[in-house]
Amino acid sequence: MTGKNDHGFWERGYRGYKSRGAPDLYHGLADWDDVATNTVNEEFADMFMNWIFNSFEYSSRAKGAETARYKWMTTNIAEWIGRAGR
The more confidently predicted of residues 85 and 74 is 74
Q: Quick check: 31 pLDDT over 70?
A: no
Cα–Cα distance list, 41 to 58, 61, 62 (Å): 23, 25, 22
pLDDT reported for residue 36: 65
Three-class SS state of 38: helix
The more confidently predicted of residues 19 and 1 is 19
> Are 2 and 22 contacting, i.e. CB atoms less than 8 angstroms apart?
no
pLDDT tens across 36-82, in order? 667 888 888 899 999 999 999 999 999 999 999 999 999 999 998 88
DSSP letter assigned to residue 10: E
Task: Please count the other Cβ atoms lying within 10 Å of the Cβ belonging to residue 42.
Answer: 17
For 11, the enclosing helix (H) or strand (E) is strand 10-11
